[in-house]
Amino acid sequence: MTNINTIVIGAGAAGLMCAIEAGNRGRKVLVLEHAEKIGKKILISGGGRCNFTNLDVKPENFISNNPHFSKSALARYTPQDFISLVEKHGIKYHEKKLGQLFCDGSAKEIVQMLQKECEDAGVGVKVNCTIDKVEQINNSNSDTAFRVISNFGEFSTESLVIATGGISIPQMGATDFGYKLAKQFGLKLTKTVPGLVPFTLNEGSYSELSGLSIDSIVTCNNASFRENILFTHKGLSGPAILQISNYWNEGDDITIDLLPGIDLVSVINEHKPNKTELVNVLAKFFPKRFAEQWCELNFPTKPVNRLSDKDIELIGKLLHEWKLVPKGTEGFGKAEVTKGGVDTNELSSKTMESKKVPGLYFIGEVVDVTGWLGGYNFQWAWASGFAAGQYV
């Protein structure tokens, strides 16, 4: 049996960052990854350009049963720390919008950077590694706490870090390994549901508008986001919808202001002398296809001088406060993240170590901390990985 100081299971964003920090501290570290290569989710992230952090990261950008849990780790490894690493490796990047930083070139550069840092820190990485069993070693004469049995043989380790991520996009190698292991050691989990995910709507609602995108404010459960919404064949997507999906629970309604900052009632009244058709007034703000479909579904078009004050008020309300109850979401197959996971009450917010099982750590998306869209989930992965890396 090979003796290791720290075994990290999962070579994603959090696992690699933890391994680098622990390796730099002189620990003998081994990362075990079941996929054929490391960092597969990083490679597909941000449309292949990896939105690796956000300039403005606050604990309020994260959802968790305990909103305070992420504070310590986020404060100790900031976006600027990761930016410095990116700059050290000469990776060019840009702010796309809203503080979101992307590689100019490709997400591959981030994975190569992490790989180089692992090499420099003397971290061992094994890919195509199947973990058959993890056991606790109850031996008071030994420092080692866990035995990991894999297709590469048996390892014993003092610290075991679980960095296997969430279950979104199973086709990329996501598994529920982390949740199962947490249960094996008696740790509680919070409910896991798809996060940053498109909504499905009832049949026939707006599917003909598929591909149209509209600047909107979307609100649900006291959270609001102003960005585009996108009509899809199945329902609604786009950044504002993905963001609000993190705050939505089954059966909740969402409210969409399709004309933020515009006083539609005044606009319609201004067009009365010209007897403009309602559909043409709406087409000044929306793509024509949307204006036509909207009138067909909600309010038959007619010259606006023939609309009563009540009609105009209703039209304004329908467009500024479009209320709908999504049928559901497109599920884990389309979700960017998994909301929920290892209950933060089980972990130290300083070290990510289990309170019940000394030597066992959980980092990254497997923990019940979910970020907004826009580089926040990677920042949590880097920060929680770094936090654990200082102690494992």
Ligand X SMILES: Cc1cc2nc3c(=O)[nH]c(=O)nc-3n(C[C@H](O)[C@H](O)[C@H](O)COP(=O)(O)OP(=O)(O)OC[C@H]3O[C@@H](n4cnc5c(N)ncnc54)[C@H](O)[C@@H]3O)c2cc1C
> Under the rule (CB under 6 A), what is the footprint of ligand X?
9-15, 32-35, 40-41, 44-46, 50-51, 131, 163-165, 168-169, 173, 175, 177, 336-337, 364-366, 375-378, 381
Phi/psi of residue 136, each to 5°? -90, 140
CB burial string 86-109: b at 16+ within 10 A, e below = beeeebebeeeeebbbbbeeebeb
Q: How far apart are alpha carbons 39 and 42 in whole angstroms?
A: 5
Question: Whole-number minimum distance, CB 227 to ligand X, in Å?
Answer: 15
* Residues 119/121/127/130 CA torsion (nearest 10 deg): 160
Backbone φ and ψ for 100, nearest 5 degrees, come out as -80, 120
Q: How far is the CB of 167 from ligand X (least distance, A)?
A: 9
Tell me whether residue 257 or residue 353 sits nearer to ligand X (CB atom).
353
Of 24 and 175, nearer to ligand X (C-beta) is: 175
Q: How far is the CB of 96 from ligand X (least distance, A)?
A: 10
- Backbone φ and ψ for 39, nearest 5 degrees, come out as 60, 35
Residue closer to ligand X by CB (options 180, 317) is 180
Q: How far is the CB of 364 from ligand X (least distance, A)?
A: 2
Which lies closer to ligand X via its Cβ, residue 168 or residue 200?
Answer: 168
CB 156 within 8 A of CB 3: yes
Q: How far apart are CA 361 and CA 158, in angstroms?
A: 11
Q: Which is nearer to ligand X, 43 or 318 (CB)?
A: 43
**Helix, strand, or coil here: 25?**
coil
* Cβ proximity to ligand X, 10 vs 340, nearer residue: 10
End-to-end CA distance of the chain: 20
- Closest separation in Å from C-beta 198 to ligand X: 12
CB 351 within 8 A of CB 336: no
Smallest separation, CB 338 to ligand X (Å)? 8
Identify which of 108, 129, 169, 126 has the alpha carbon closest to the alpha carbon of residue 335: 169
Nearer to ligand X, 47 or 260 (CB): 47
- Residue 222 Cβ, how far from ligand X at the closest point, in Å? 23
CB of 291 to ligand X, least distance (A): 33
The Cα 91–Cα 82 span in angstroms is 12
Residue nearest to ligand X (CB): 12
Structure tokens at 313: 């008020």
Task: Identify which of 326, 344, 366, 333 has the alpha carbon closest to the alpha carbon of residue 245.
Answer: 326
Give the residue with the Cβ less far from ligand X, 178 or 326: 178
